[in-house]
Structures are given as structure tokens and as C-alpha cells.
Structure 1
Amino acid sequence: MSSSSLSSSSSSSSPASAVRVLTELDHVRIGKWLDTHAAQHEALQNLLDNADLVASDAVAPDVVTMRSRVQVAEPGEGTVREITLAYPDEADAAQGRISVLSPAGTALLGLRAGDVARWTAPDGRVSALQVRAVAFQPEASGDLLR
């Protein structure tokens, strides 16, 4: 996947909104997985290396964290769908659980409601999803050790 690229942009004009935020727990868990697979997931490794880290109890409720249920839509489209950002062993596309290792999952992690995730799929197709809302975030519900 080293040939795929990833970026995110925000619908707001604030430069600070382009910074991706990860909880320390998500950072550690994903980092452990990447220790053995880093070459295959360069975009995710770049996110881990450059994100702002916060404690689980300090993350804003509109940030996409692991196991968050997120309402997304293609930019300019009205059809909203709900997906859950999952660890690889929990992913099930038919159930709406997408892996953080997928290009879309990596692009969504750490964004805020209103931000747009953009990525290039392995087949070269460019895609985008706008985060309309974070319908459920484990940290906001008090589940800090999920």
C-alpha cells in the first residue's frame, strides 16, 4: 500500500482543524499492530507519527476514534450512511464495520465532524467521505478502555 496516498482536509478554514487527533490508547494499539506490518501501511504509520495525542478522557466527542460510529456521505451528496471504525479482526463490511487498515478507515481516523477524508485506493481511484457526525464515540460514552 505504499503507493497509496492519503490526505484529509477540513470544511472549515481553521488550520488547526487539519491536525489529526488520536487517543494515546488507539495510538499504542495500532502501533503494536504496525510493528509487524508497517511496510504495508505507510499512510497509517504517517498518521501515527504526526497526530496530536490526547488522553482518552480528554478527546473531543466529535473526533473519530477507534470503534466510533460515524455518519458519512460523499461530499455534495445527501445520502448519509453509518459506519464503525474497527480493528482488523473486528472488521465486517457487510455490517458496516470498516478496518482502520483500509484506505477509508485510515483516512477517517482522527478527523472531526465536518472534515473530509480523501484517499487513493490501490486501484488508483480517488475517493472522499465527509464526516457528517460522530454518532457514537466510546470515550464520550465513558468507555475509556474499550
Structure 2
Amino acid sequence: MNNITVTTNDHKRLTALLEFASIKTIMPEIEKLLYNKLIVARALPQESISKHVITMNSRVLLKELSSEREIELTITYPQDANNRERKVSILSPIGIALLGRQVGDQVSWKIPGGTGQFEIVDVRYQPEAVGDFHL
């Protein structure tokens, strides 16, 4: 069963982002990961997305399963990524792993020294949940 859900707006924007030749040339593995995710994702109108689903510009609380350490991240478009502010690009393994997932899901991605496994504890901010449909 497919449990990846994205907004139709995010789907359109991300599909357009993948059309840039530089992404295909410089980041072919990332391009393939995001492309494969968008192919299987269920796209819904912004108004129909559950507030527990991670969409673009969502701020999420994660718990690392091995250490119980919690971290908060925001999933952004590449131009808005900022490590200091914990804003991660959708064109990163973390961003791709989180997009479309929901509270309670477990996700993993490569980290220095191996693979990190995390549980999604909370979606602290989701644009669609508060009517910020312009983001």
C-alpha cells in the first residue's frame, strides 16, 4: 500500500525542479530518488492533505531510534536550505526521505558512518494546515 502523499502543488513544483539539466548532470542519484518518490506518491489537493503529512516547508520533529535524540528540521526548496537554521533541501537524502511521510512513520537515510533511522514524532508546522497555500 502506498503511504506517500504529496500536494498536487508540491508535485508540480518538484517535477518542474527535476527538469533542470544541472540536477540531472550534477546530482543524478538525488534526481532519481526524488523522481521515483514522485512516481509512486498520491497527489491530493492542498485542502485535502492531513495535518500529519510532511509537505514542502513543513517543520518536523524527529527522534533518532538508536539514541532517542530529537531533532527538528524544515523541508525546503534548495534556494532556502540553511544548515544553521536546520532547513534541509528537498534535494538531499533527508528531504526526500521525509517528503510525503507522516507522524509515526519510520524513515532512514545515509548519514556519516552509516544509516540513520528516525521516527517522525510530530509535524510542528505544515503550511496547508494553517492555510499558507502560497508557500
TM-score tier, shorter chain, comes to 0.7 to 0.9
Question: Are residue 138 (structure 1) and residue 127 (structure 2) matched?
Answer: yes
1:7-32 CA distance string (max 9 Å, x none): xxxxxxxxx4x510010011111111
Corresponding letter in the other structure for 2:38: L
Corresponding residue of 1:50: 40
Question: Are residue 111 (structure 1) and residue 101 (structure 2) matched?
Answer: yes
Corresponding residue of 2:54: 64
Cα distance in 2 for residues equivalent to 1:130 and 1:110: 14
- Secondary structure (helix, strand or coil) at the match of 2:128 reads coil
Greater relative contact order (CA < 8 Å, ≥ 6 in sequence): 1
Corresponding residue of 1:31: 15
- Secondary structure (helix, strand or coil) at the match of 1:105 reads helix
1:59-86 CA distance string (max 9 Å, x none): 0000000000100111254322211001
Question: Are residue 127 (structure 1) and residue 128 (structure 2) matched?
Answer: no
| Equivalent residue in structure 1 for 2:77, among 83, 87, 93 | 87
Cα distance in 1 for residues equivalent to 2:118 and 2:24: 25
Greater than 4 Å deviation, 4+ residue runs:
none
The number of residue pairs the alignment matches comes to 129
Stretches of structure 1 lacking an aligned partner (at least 5 in a row): 1-15
Please give the root-mean-square deviation of Cα atoms over the aligned residues, in Å: 1.7
Cα distance in 2 for residues equivalent to 1:124 and 1:53: 34
Does structure 2 conserve the Cα–Cα contact (< 8 Å) formed by 1:72 and 1:81?
A: yes
Cα distance in 1 for residues equivalent to 2:66 and 2:113: 22
Stretches of structure 2 lacking an aligned partner (at least 5 in a row): none
Does structure 2 conserve the Cα–Cα contact (< 8 Å) formed by 1:117 and 1:130?
A: yes
With normalisation by structure 2, the TM-score equals: 0.88
